Amino acid sequence: MELQLEVVTKSYKNKQVLKEITLIMGVGVYGLLGPNGAGKTTMIRILADVLRPTKGSILYDRKDIHAVGDEYRAKIGYLPQDVSFYGDFTGRDYLEYSAALKGMEKTHAKKRIEELAYSVGLLDDLNRKCTAYSGGMQRRLGIAQALLDDPEILILDEPTSGLDPYERIKFRNIISAYAKDRLVLLSTHIVSDVEQIAAQIMMMEYGTIQHIHPGGEYIRMMEGRVWLVEMPAEQLVSYQNQAVISNVRAKGDCMEVRIIEDAKPTSNAVQAVPTLEDAYLYLFNYLPQKAGR
Ligand X SMILES: Nc1ncnc2c1ncn2[C@@H]1O[C@H](COP(=O)(O)OP(=O)(O)O)[C@@H](O)[C@H]1O
Judged by the rule CB under 6 A, the positions of this chain that interact with ligand X are 12, 17, 34, 36-42
Do 271 and 227 meet the contact criterion of CB atoms below 8 Å apart?
yes
Least distance in Å: CB of 58 to ligand X?
16
* Residues 285, 199, 70, 91, CA torsion sign: negative
Provide, rounded to whole angstroms, the least separation between the CB of residue 149 and Mg ion: 25
- Distance, CA of 11 to CA of 135 (rounded, Å): 31
Q: Is 178 exposed, middle or buried (0-12, 13-18, 19+ CB in 10 A)?
A: middle
Give the one entry of ligand X, Mg ion, none that residue 241 binds, where binding means its C-beta sits below a cut-off of 5 to 8 angstroms depending on kind: none
Report the residue number, 137 or 203, with the smaller CB distance to ligand X: 203
Instruction: Provide the CA 75 distance to its chain's centre, in angstroms.
Output: 20
Contacts of residue 273, defined as CB under 8 A and 6 or more positions apart, other chains included, come to 226
Name which of 96 and 158 has its Cβ closer to Mg ion. 158
Cβ closest to Mg ion, residue 158 vs residue 278: 158
Which residue, 49 or 152, has its beta carbon nearer to Mg ion? 49
* Shortest distance (Å) from residue 11 CB to Mg ion: 17
- Minimum distance, C-beta of residue 41 to ligand X, in the bound complex (Å): 3
Q: Return the one option of Mg ion, ligand X, none that residue 34 interacts with (CB less than 5 to 8 A, by type).
A: ligand X
The entry of ligand X, Mg ion, none that residue 92 binds, CB within 5 to 8 Å by partner kind: none
- Minimum Å gap between C-beta 20 and ligand X is 15
Among 3, 39, 41, 75, the residue binding Mg ion under the rule CB under 5 A is 41
* Least separation in angstroms between CB 42 and ligand X: 3
Q: Is 70 exposed, middle or buried (0-12, 13-18, 19+ CB in 10 A)?
A: exposed
Taking alpha carbons only, the member of 246, 283, 251 closest to residue 265 is: 246
Cα separation, 16 vs 18, whole angstroms: 6
Nearer to Mg ion, 36 or 127 (CB): 36
36 binds, among Mg ion, ligand X, none (CB under 5 to 8 A by kind): ligand X
Paired strand residues for 252: none
CB-CB neighbours of 155 under 10 Å: 26
The partner in contact with residue 188, picked from Mg ion, ligand X, none with C-beta cut-offs of 5 to 8 angstroms by kind, is none
- Residue number, 41 or 90, with CB nearest to ligand X: 41
Burial class (CB in 10 A: 0-12, 13-18, 19+), 166: exposed
The entry of ligand X, Mg ion, none that residue 196 binds, CB within 5 to 8 Å by partner kind: none
Contact set with Mg ion (CB under 5 A): 40-41, 81
